Amino acid sequence: MHQNSTFLTILSSSFLPAFSEELLFRAFLFGLLFRRLEWGFVPATFVSAFIFGISHLWQGNDFWDTLGVMAVTYIGGVWFVWLFAEWRYNLWLVIFLHLFMNLYWGIFEITNNNALSGLDSNAFRVITCHSPP
Protein backbone atom coordinates (compact mmCIF):
# COMPACT_ATOMS: atom_id res chain seq x y z
CA MET A 1 0.00 0.00 0.00
CA HIS A 2 1.13 3.55 -0.61
CA GLN A 3 3.07 4.97 2.33
CA ASN A 4 1.04 8.20 2.41
CA SER A 5 -2.38 6.71 1.61
CA THR A 6 -5.17 6.99 4.06
CA PHE A 7 -8.38 5.06 4.24
CA LEU A 8 -10.30 8.07 2.91
CA THR A 9 -7.99 8.66 -0.06
CA ILE A 10 -8.10 5.00 -1.06
CA LEU A 11 -11.87 4.86 -0.62
CA SER A 12 -12.41 8.10 -2.56
CA SER A 13 -10.13 6.96 -5.38
CA SER A 14 -12.07 3.69 -5.51
CA PHE A 15 -15.68 4.55 -4.73
CA LEU A 16 -16.09 7.87 -6.53
CA PRO A 17 -14.81 6.65 -9.91
CA ALA A 18 -16.74 3.38 -9.65
CA PHE A 19 -19.99 5.11 -8.73
CA SER A 20 -19.73 7.98 -11.22
CA GLU A 21 -18.45 5.88 -14.13
CA GLU A 22 -21.08 3.18 -13.72
CA LEU A 23 -23.81 5.78 -13.35
CA LEU A 24 -22.64 7.71 -16.43
CA PHE A 25 -21.49 4.95 -18.79
CA ARG A 26 -23.73 2.01 -17.88
CA ALA A 27 -26.94 3.45 -16.43
CA PHE A 28 -27.11 6.65 -18.47
CA LEU A 29 -25.24 6.13 -21.76
CA PHE A 30 -25.87 2.43 -22.34
CA GLY A 31 -29.38 2.77 -20.90
CA LEU A 32 -30.11 5.67 -23.23
CA LEU A 33 -28.77 3.92 -26.33
CA PHE A 34 -30.17 0.46 -25.68
CA ARG A 35 -33.31 0.89 -23.64
CA ARG A 36 -34.57 4.32 -24.73
CA LEU A 37 -33.31 4.74 -28.30
CA GLU A 38 -33.67 0.99 -28.91
CA TRP A 39 -30.28 0.48 -30.49
CA GLY A 40 -29.23 -3.14 -30.65
CA PHE A 41 -27.33 -4.56 -27.70
CA VAL A 42 -24.03 -4.86 -29.58
CA PRO A 43 -23.91 -1.31 -31.04
CA ALA A 44 -25.03 0.25 -27.74
CA THR A 45 -22.42 -1.79 -25.87
CA PHE A 46 -19.60 -0.95 -28.26
CA VAL A 47 -20.37 2.77 -28.37
CA SER A 48 -20.66 3.11 -24.58
CA ALA A 49 -17.49 1.02 -24.05
CA PHE A 50 -15.62 3.06 -26.67
CA ILE A 51 -16.54 6.33 -24.96
CA PHE A 52 -15.62 4.74 -21.61
CA GLY A 53 -12.21 3.87 -23.10
CA ILE A 54 -11.76 7.40 -24.46
CA SER A 55 -12.49 8.81 -21.01
CA HIS A 56 -9.36 7.03 -19.73
CA LEU A 57 -6.96 8.34 -22.40
CA TRP A 58 -5.45 10.79 -19.93
CA GLN A 59 -3.79 7.81 -18.19
CA GLY A 60 -1.45 7.09 -21.12
CA ASN A 61 2.15 8.32 -21.20
CA ASP A 62 2.84 7.75 -24.91
CA PHE A 63 0.97 6.50 -27.98
CA TRP A 64 1.25 2.77 -27.26
CA ASP A 65 0.56 3.16 -23.57
CA THR A 66 -2.51 5.26 -24.36
CA LEU A 67 -3.71 2.73 -26.92
CA GLY A 68 -3.26 -0.06 -24.36
CA VAL A 69 -5.15 1.89 -21.70
CA MET A 70 -8.00 2.46 -24.10
CA ALA A 71 -8.09 -1.22 -25.09
CA VAL A 72 -8.15 -2.44 -21.49
CA THR A 73 -10.83 0.03 -20.42
CA TYR A 74 -12.86 -0.68 -23.58
CA ILE A 75 -12.85 -4.41 -22.77
CA GLY A 76 -13.77 -3.59 -19.17
CA GLY A 77 -16.61 -1.39 -20.45
CA VAL A 78 -17.97 -4.23 -22.57
CA TRP A 79 -17.71 -6.62 -19.62
CA PHE A 80 -19.51 -4.26 -17.24
CA VAL A 81 -22.30 -3.61 -19.78
CA TRP A 82 -22.80 -7.33 -20.17
CA LEU A 83 -22.97 -7.82 -16.38
CA PHE A 84 -25.31 -4.83 -16.05
CA ALA A 85 -27.72 -6.24 -18.64
CA GLU A 86 -27.37 -9.86 -17.53
CA TRP A 87 -28.26 -8.93 -13.95
CA ARG A 88 -31.44 -7.12 -15.08
CA TYR A 89 -29.91 -3.64 -15.06
CA ASN A 90 -28.73 -3.89 -11.47
CA LEU A 91 -26.44 -0.87 -11.25
CA TRP A 92 -25.31 -1.74 -7.73
CA LEU A 93 -23.74 -4.99 -8.92
CA VAL A 94 -21.42 -3.24 -11.39
CA ILE A 95 -20.74 -0.38 -8.99
CA PHE A 96 -19.58 -2.77 -6.28
CA LEU A 97 -17.54 -4.92 -8.68
CA HIS A 98 -15.90 -1.78 -10.05
CA LEU A 99 -15.39 -0.47 -6.50
CA PHE A 100 -13.76 -3.66 -5.23
CA MET A 101 -11.60 -3.92 -8.35
CA ASN A 102 -10.38 -0.32 -7.87
CA LEU A 103 -9.99 -0.83 -4.13
CA TYR A 104 -7.94 -4.00 -4.59
CA TRP A 105 -5.68 -2.33 -7.15
CA GLY A 106 -5.27 0.73 -4.90
CA ILE A 107 -4.48 -1.18 -1.73
CA PHE A 108 -2.07 -3.64 -3.30
CA GLU A 109 -0.62 -1.24 -5.89
CA ILE A 110 -1.62 -3.47 -8.77
CA THR A 111 -1.49 -0.69 -11.38
CA ASN A 112 1.22 1.74 -12.39
CA ASN A 113 -1.05 4.80 -12.13
CA ASN A 114 -3.08 3.79 -15.18
CA ALA A 115 -5.35 1.04 -16.42
CA LEU A 116 -2.53 -0.68 -18.31
CA SER A 117 -0.08 -2.82 -16.37
CA GLY A 118 1.86 -6.02 -16.71
CA LEU A 119 0.66 -9.57 -17.25
CA ASP A 120 0.18 -10.23 -13.52
CA SER A 121 -2.01 -7.15 -13.09
CA ASN A 122 -4.16 -8.05 -16.07
CA ALA A 123 -4.52 -11.62 -14.80
CA PHE A 124 -5.91 -10.17 -11.56
CA ARG A 125 -8.28 -8.01 -13.60
CA VAL A 126 -9.70 -11.08 -15.31
CA ILE A 127 -10.08 -12.87 -11.98
CA THR A 128 -11.71 -9.82 -10.40
CA CYS A 129 -14.18 -9.47 -13.25
CA HIS A 130 -15.26 -13.09 -13.21
CA SER A 131 -19.01 -13.24 -13.52
CA PRO A 132 -20.87 -14.01 -10.27
CA PRO A 133 -22.79 -17.32 -10.27
pLDDT tens-digit map of 63-84 = 988 898 899 899 999 999 999 9
**Cβ distance 80 to 22 under 8 Å?**
yes
Q: pTM of the full predicted structure? A: 0.78
Give residue 115's pLDDT. Answer: 59
Q: How confident is the model at residue 3 (pLDDT cuts 50, 70, 90)?
A: low
Residue 39, pLDDT score: 98
The confidence band for 47, taking pLDDT boundaries of 50, 70 and 90, is: very high
Query: What spatial distance separates the first Cα and last Cα of the chain, rounded to whole Å?
Result: 30
Rounded to whole angstroms, the Cα distance separating 125 from 51 reads 20
Average pLDDT, the chain: 84
Give the separation between CA 105 and CA 109, rounded to whole angstroms. 5
Q: Rounded CA gap, 17 and 1, in Å?
A: 19
**∠ CA 120-59-47 to the nearest 5 degrees?**
95
The C-alpha atoms of residue 14 and residue 104 are separated, in whole angstroms, by 9
